[in-house]
A = this chain, B = another copy of it.
Amino acid sequence: MIFILLYLAKKFRMKNKIKNKVKGSDILQLEVVAIGGYEEVGRNMTAVNVDGEIIIFDMGLRLDRVMIHEDSDVSKMHSLNLIEMGVIPDDTVMKNIEGEVKAIVVSHGHLDHIGAITKLAHRYNAPIIGTPYTLELVKREILSEKKFDVRNPLITLNAKETMDLTPNLSLEFIKITHSIPDAVLPVLHTPYGAIVYGNDFKFDNIPIVGEKPDYRAIKKVGKKGVICMISESTRVNFEGKTPSEGVAASLLKNDLLGTDNENNGVVITTFSSHIARIKSITEIAERMGRIPVLIGRSMAKYCGIAEDIGLVEFPKNTKMAGDPTSVDRIFHQVMKEGKEKYMLVVTGHQGEEGAVLSRMATNKTPFRFERHDQVVFSADVIPNPMNAAQRYMLEARLKLAGVRLFKGAHVSGHAAKEDHRDMIRWLNPEHIIPAHGDFNLTATYAKLAEEEGYRLGEDVHLLRNGQSLKFERII
């Protein structure tokens, strides 16, 4: 005997637009498979199966898990080990899904969205589709992989463009903003309505780099009919609206131009992939008459690529130092010519042991901190005790050296509660699946959806990794 559980929803929200869509066809088969990121922040992966044609969205890493298992070099490890450790999505559930993978779509270039491609993509005979900046980052990942050989074709699709994936399915990239350039909101157009993959995004009207979100396109999709939206939920527990990147720039100006730092060293640390932030910093450096120097391997990688493909233009005198030799050289130069001539933008905002700022603080570089030097953390502490400890150690060392700490000049790249509400109202999706968060986040999203008339288990759904939601038609 087998039980089956029916959530007998009492009132269904009927929508004509969807009704009309399914003209001739009698059988609808639509399934959303939650593979990763539905129980955590990190390792995002979702599959959508439309009548046997499968589209995968994102293949990401979960970095905090690597910390628990010491001494693991991810680049040399096998998928199955990484799955067992919870570092990458467990895509073995794909065996149970009947259909053929037609495309792997990446939303943006953060590692929790593209970092597992090198471990998983080769198992699928399908191209990887993304925007130019994202695909450049995917290429770098593939180059640094030591275990697997990933040969999936890479297909560029620009924001604001649409391409056909199969005769039945097309993919639209709506311009969206996030804390990395060239992020998009992928929309899968199916015969039954659109599937929107809203993971990750914010609504930023002063993004500093790139354009504003394409609100018109979002509303247009909403009007045509959205059958299901998958939405990130990492910051839905913040009331109000996430401030724009323009606010971060104002905060940086406040800290950097308003403090008595003329004769002191000025060091800033932020996310290497946050090109907009780094652009703001370099422009403030220019205004202060200091030479901006971008220091650190990943700092040079992300900024270099962004400049190479024309996404951003840093001030002409900006210097970059990625490999250890150039990092050393630039620090020697700074110490010799005078700190007050430079603004150093470095990796290590979480206090990571090997990163540039921690190495500076423990005198492992030629740089020496002095009393009244200024260090600006333009980043949140990732809320995790191990990060907190690393940051604490770093800050304790800086304070012992008499350094002045500034920590508030940051805004998030994730939508807050009222941003999400606008998204729901504009897209008006038939069903919503919150993603990218543990229960406390996805459940908070579900509560928001209930405020907008949805109901848990009826049209807003909490999935766990490995579960799928199937839509079927009754007559």
Q: Which residues of A contact B (CB under 8 A)?
A: 1-10, 12, 18-19, 22, 67-68, 70, 93, 96, 203, 205, 239-241, 243-244, 246-247, 250-251, 254-255, 257-260, 362, 384-386, 388-393, 396-397, 400, 402, 404-409, 418, 421-422, 425-426, 430, 439-440, 443-444, 446-447, 450-451, 455-458, 461-464, 466-475
CA distance A241 to B258 in the complex (A): 8
Within 8 Å CB of A3, what residues of B? 12, 430, 471-474
Minimal beta-carbon separation of A371 from chain B (angstroms): 9
Q: Can you name the residue of chain B whose Cβ is closest to the Cβ of A390?
A: B389
Residue of B nearest to A463 (CB): B457
Q: Is the CB of A241 within 8 A of B255?
A: yes
A interface: dominant SS: mixed
Measured CB to CB, the closest approach of chain B to A284, in angstroms, equals: 13
Q: Contacting A422 at CB < 8 Å: which of B96, B259, B405?
A: B259
B4 contacts A6, C-beta separation under 8 Å: yes
Residues of B with C-beta under 8 A to A470: 5-6, 8
Q: Known contacts being A243-B250, A463-B457, is A471 close to B405, with CB within 8 Å?
A: no
**Distance A258 CA – B254 CA, assembled complex (angstroms):** 23
Tell me the complex Cα distance, A362–B457, Å.
34
Bound Cα distance from A79 to B14, whole angstroms: 31
Residues on B with C-beta less than 8 A from A462 are 456-457, 462
A-B contact pairs, 19 of them (CB 8 A): A4-B6, A4-B8, A5-B469, A6-B6, A239-B408, A240-B405, A240-B406, A241-B259, A247-B247, A247-B251, A259-B418, A260-B426, A385-B389, A439-B446, A440-B440, A457-B463, A457-B467, A458-B467, A462-B462
Q: Which residue from chain B places its CB closest to the CB of A212 in the assembled complex?
A: B258
Q: Chain B CB within 10 Å — which of A5, A406, A430, A463 has the most?
A: A5
Report the minimum CB–CB distance from A230 to chain B (whole Å).
Answer: 15
A217 → chain B closest CB, angstroms: 15
Q: Which of A254, A386, A390, A400 gathers the greatest number of chain B CB atoms within 10 Å?
A: A254
In the complex, what's the smallest C-beta–C-beta distance from A258 to chain B, in angstroms? 5
Q: Chain B nearest CB: distance from A211 CB in Å?
A: 15
CB distance from A79 to the nearest CB of B (A): 20
With the chains together, A397 CA to B6 CA distance in Å?
35
A384 contact set on B, CB distance < 8 A: 392
Given contacts A425-B260, A439-B444, A446-B439, contact A408 B243 (CB under 8 A): yes
Q: Given B5, B8, B67, which contacts A461 in the complex, CB threshold below 8 Å?
A: B5
Q: Among B258, B400, B405, which residue has its beta carbon within 8 angstroms of that of A244?
A: B258
Given A5-B461, A259-B422, A404-B421, list of 11 further CB < 8 A pairs? A1-B475, A3-B12, A3-B474, A5-B469, A70-B362, A205-B257, A259-B418, A385-B385, A439-B444, A450-B464, A456-B462
Q: Which residues of B contact A443 (CB under 8 A)?
A: 439-440, 443
Closest B-chain residue to A256, C-beta based? B241
**Which residues of chain B have C-beta atoms less than 8 A from A388's C-beta?**
385, 388-389
Q: Could you tell me if B10 and A2 are in contact, using CB atoms closer than 8 angstroms?
A: no
Q: A1-B18, A255-B241, A474-B3 are in contact. Are A447 and B439 (CB under 8 A)?
A: yes
